[in-house]
Amino acid sequence: MSNKVAIIGAGPAGLSAAYLLGKAGISTTIFEQDKQYVGGISRTENYKGYYFDIGGHRFFSKSKEVEDFWTEILQDDLLERPRSSRIYYNHTFFEYPLVALEALKKLGLWQSFLCVASYLKAKLFPVKNPQNVEDWVSNQFGKKLYSIFFKTYTEKVWGISCKDISADWAAQRIKGLSLSSAIKNALIKPSYANKEKVIKTLIDSFRYPKKGPGMMWETCRDKCLQLGVKVKMNAEVIGLNFNDNLWQVVMKNEQFDEKFTYVLSSASIKNIVPNILPSVNKVAKEAALQLRYRDFLTVVLICKDKDSFTDNWIYIHDPSVKVGRIQNFKSWSPYMVPDESMACYGLEYFCFEGDGMWQKNNDDLIDLATNEMHQIGLLNKENVVEGYVVRQPKAYPVYDKNYKEKVQLVRDGLKPYKGLYLIGRNGMHKYNNQDHSMMTAMFAAKNIIAGKELYDVWKVNQDAEYQEEGERGVNEGGRLIPIVQN
């Protein structure tokens, strides 16, 4: 039988693989559970002509291959947009990424003194072999700065104490930065001349599709269809059967008898791996079931525009409100809003599926978001015309203390299953951006096209680089980047 590929999920990973496979003339079918949207977490929803992301999605990558892919798909519809963002803490806005001197000035003399003193203490008496985020970041910046700029937001995002989050995650996000380098760079204006172009790009601007990230993935889907790829929507995969080296996809709503030589799965490990038949070993199954996720909802407020702020997004560290981040979609692209006199803001709340926040009815969520915008001083309540709510399960794979071991047990358990590739964010339980997701999928596709294992998809690091070492953090010109982000 010639190669036939099934792909679970029409997110960035699934569609990137499908595009390469389609170009190579390999028979490919995508199974997507959503009825309407492709793009997964990188989709763009549309309500009455207002477009919005599930969180704002910047397009940037250190990988030329990924950048070229995006250019090939969208060409002139991929805009270069100016970047501006801030942090809100203690009724004060701070530039983001943090500029050390500005931050110390706004904190006042006494708080600044405490920051510097606790930094010196951390340098003299660091926690040996830090295992969690609290110890890792405190060693790097001192406990005081950690508690102001890292702890509150990080705990809002993850819903667990920083002591229970693996130090890996912090290391991945802010490696190579320290308070001393940040202060040095604040005093001596950093020269970007010798740095990689991409780093400058990250600081000043980013690429963004005219009508949001969904436009990228809808266009990619259309190009895949032209190449003969089949895209099945409303096609939730609830299991996989593996017999005689061939795969059969078990769908929730439909029987699908076609057999495949390869399956690329970007569905969560927790949902797919325990539902493979014959079953993976008990240890791998248990490990898959123990993986955890953080969920997310965004409340979209459509407002009469008061131009009260022009940031693309603002991180809300302040514990007096529940909102974690505020997006201003018109600043991402003016094409996201159909009427110039209006604005569209997205308030992001991090939660667990089924908890109090997740269960709240939409009207209460819209009231909460309106009141919090008012409290922060970004919006007059009277200007809100309408609201809309989007819930996103499994937005974040959780890096708790044992996640690495669990993922390894799953990988070991899958070794006998020829032709199955786990790809993408939840597919590999990797806290990643689109570029990493795409790269893992593209490498799986290249292996299939070549008919041999050219690449180990697990060796793609967070920066979409293929290497065996751990991930490199992005040092944005020596400015402090709190571990917030996506």
Ligand X SMILES: Cc1cc2nc3c(=O)[nH]c(=O)nc-3n(C[C@H](O)[C@H](O)[C@H](O)COP(=O)(O)OP(=O)(O)OC[C@H]3O[C@@H](n4cnc5c(N)ncnc54)[C@H](O)[C@@H]3O)c2cc1C
Interface mask toward ligand X for 337-376; x: CB under 6 A = ----------------------------------------
In the numeric block, which tokens belong to residue 129?
């072999």
**Does residue number 31 form part of the binding site for ligand X (CB under 6 A)?**
yes
**What stretches of 182-236 adopt beta strand conformation (E)?**
205-209, 230-232
Ramachandran angles phi, psi of 62, nearest 5°: -80, -10
Which residue in 404, 486, 483, 411 sits closest to 155, CA to CA? 483
- Identify the residue among 63, 185, 271, 383 touching ligand X (CB under 6 A): 271
Contact status: 442 vs ligand X (CB under 6 A): no
Give percent helix, percent strand, percent coil of the chain, each to the nearest 5. Answer: 40, 25, 35
Query: Binding to ligand X by residue 154, rule CB under 6 A?
Result: no
Q: Does 12 bind ligand X (CB under 6 A)?
A: yes
Under the binding rule (CB under 6 A), the answer on residue 275 touching ligand X is no
334: preceding bond cis by omega (within 30 degrees):
no
Residues 6+ apart with CB under 8 A from 297: 348, 349, 351, 357, 358, 365, 389, 390, 391, 392
Closer Cβ to ligand X, 137 or 235, answer by number: 235
CA-based end-to-end distance of the chain: 42
- Rounded Cα–Cα distance for residues 287 and 270 (Å): 9
Min CB(337)–ligand X separation in Å: 19
484's CB contacts (< 8 A; 6+ apart) are 153, 154, 157, 315, 325
Piece of the chain touching ligand X by CB under 6 A; list 2-10, 92-100, 185-193, 221-229: 2-10
CB of 72 to ligand X, least distance (A): 17
- Choose between 308 and 485: whose C-beta lies nearer to ligand X: 485
What is the Cα gyration radius of the chain? 23
395 vs 210: CA distance, rounded Å: 24
CB of 253 to ligand X, least distance (A): 11
Using CB under 6 A, which of 7, 58, 185, 318 touches ligand X? 58
**Three-class secondary structure of residue 264 per DSSP:** strand
Q: Is 14 in the site for ligand X (CB under 6 A)?
A: yes
- Two structure tokens written together for 470: 């751990």
Q: Does 55 bind ligand X (CB under 6 A)?
A: yes
- Tell me the site size for ligand X, rule CB under 6 A: 35
Of 5, 6, 7, 10, which lies in the binding site for ligand X, with binding defined by CB under 6 A? 10
Smallest separation, CB 322 to ligand X (Å): 16
Report in angstroms how near the CB of residue 33 gets to ligand X at its nearest: 4
Candidates 86-94, 221-229, 433-441, 450-458 — which segment interacts with ligand X by CB under 6 A? 433-441
- Residue closer to ligand X (CB basis): 13 or 171: 13
Which parts of 180-312 are beta strand (E)? 205-209, 230-232, 237-243, 246-251, 259-260, 262-265, 276-277, 293-304
Contact between 465 and ligand X by CB under 6 A: the answer reads: no
| Among positions 42, 44, 154, 462, the unique one binding ligand X when judged by CB under 6 A | 42
Q: Contact region for ligand X (CB under 6 A) — 196-204, 307-315, 371-379, 432-440?
A: 432-440
Q: Residue 75 contacts by C-beta under 8 Å, 6 or more apart in sequence?
A: none
Q: Contact residues for ligand X (CB under 6 A)?
A: 8-14, 31-34, 40-42, 55-58, 236-237, 266-267, 271, 296, 395, 424-427, 432-435, 437, 486
